[in-house]
Amino acid sequence: MFKKLDKMLERYEKLNKLVGDPDVISRMDEWKNYTKELADMSDTVDKYTEYKKVEKEIADLKAQLPAEKDAEMKELMEQELSDCNDKLESISEQLRILLLPKDPDDDKNVIMEIRAGAGGEEASLFAYELYRMYVKYSERHRLKTEEIENNSTELGGVKEVVFSITGKSAYGKLKYESGVHRVQRVPETESQGRVHTSTATVAVLPEATDVEVHIDEKDLRVDTLRSSGAGGQHINKTESCIRLTHIPTGIVVLCQDERSQTKNREKAMRVLKSRLYDYYQSQADKEYAENRRSQVGTGDRSERIRTYNFPQGRVTDHRIGYTVHDIEGFMMGDLDEMIERLSIADRERKLAAEGNVEE
């Protein structure tokens, strides 16, 4: 670990000189890359500097202790040495966490897809409530949401909704939400007062860039259709709905949210690129599938991750066995506590895995 840190410190000092060099500043793209690399290192370097400072304090105290004649002063110095050792151990653990490989997708925007599962109309209503929950969460964190596709039902639910979430670390915040969400409650349509169980699936995809996913036009089939749903006479006259089919993978994206073909195509392409990015990543990770199974889970859409029990007012995440007892607040976007717990569990798993590698 300390060899890595010493190399990082050396690189950090070099970068500090580079970003102040007028020749480098004149090459703006290069300068931006250096400043980003510098910013990414700063927390780790600051913590390592603190570690070295405490390490020196320990060395000084150890050197002074044998020569100290005053018993009371010696006791104070021994207590200070003990405190410094505890502090050094704590900083060392923080450094291990900071050195964990960062998910390269964490800083990306998100394409989120929510679909009603088992449970008929009740599942559609629950899917809509999940959609509203993530919109509220995004508002709390100053993330921007934009609807891409919405297949709604007459009672106010959604069979499927696709939307983007853009802003700082959007994917890093929401990546643990992929999977099957289960709701237990008495539906509004139930006259007998019986508790029903319904499900909805959530897929959280990092939004891919043109550099990461290139789509050859010959691999793409584009169909224009008449939109369905609200919109009156305009919908009957205009074929503004776009359906994109990626022939090699069979992935299909439909977008009719906008009244313009061009805008619908742009939105559909964003979704298609993200689905393809997710598809190719999954293919590449197949051989490591067993290693990726963990407490937090793989993020597989078929994995039941959470139960929302309305009669008992609780939300339980099955991957980490953690329960929040404020279901109303949770459904209004207060997900911070749950997401933090999932992040900690994931971090602990990674630390344990790295410890096994080192052994």
Give the range among 245-254, 280-289, 306-315 with minimum mean pLDDT. 280-289
- Mean per-residue pLDDT, 177-181: 94
Residue 229 reports pLDDT greater than 90? no
- CATH topology for 217-285 is Double Stranded RNA Binding Domain (3.30.160)
Instruction: Quote the mean pLDDT of the chain.
Output: 85
List the domain boundaries for the chain: 2-98, 110-211+299-358, 217-285
3-state helix, strand, coil in the chain (%, to 5): 50, 20, 25
Q: Above pLDDT 70, what percent of the chain?
A: 87
- Mean per-residue pLDDT, 129-147: 96
Q: What is the pLDDT of residue 91?
A: 92
Q: What is the pLDDT of residue 230?
A: 45
Residue 285 reports pLDDT greater than 50? yes
Kind of pairing, strands 179-185 and 220-225? Answer: unpaired
Distance, CA of 280 to CA of 282 (rounded, Å):
5
pTM here?
Answer: 0.67
Write out the DSSP string of 127-182: HHHHHHHHHHHHHHTT-EEEEEEEEE-TTS-EEEEEEEEESTTHHHHHGGG-EEEE
Architecture of domain 110-211+299-358: 2-Layer Sandwich (3.30)
Question: Is-contact 170 164, C-beta < 8 A?
Answer: no
The per-residue pLDDT for range 28-84, each reduced to its tens digit, is: 889 988 998 898 888 889 999 999 999 999 999 999 988 888 888 999 999 999 999
Q: Above pLDDT 90, what percent of the chain?
A: 45
Q: What is the pLDDT of residue 125?
A: 94
Higher pLDDT, 233 or 327: 327
Q: What is the pLDDT of residue 207?
A: 86
What is the DSSP code (8-state) at residue 208? P
Please state, as a whole number, how many other Cβ atoms lie within 10 Å of the Cβ of residue 288.
9
Amino acid identity of residue 249, one-letter, is T
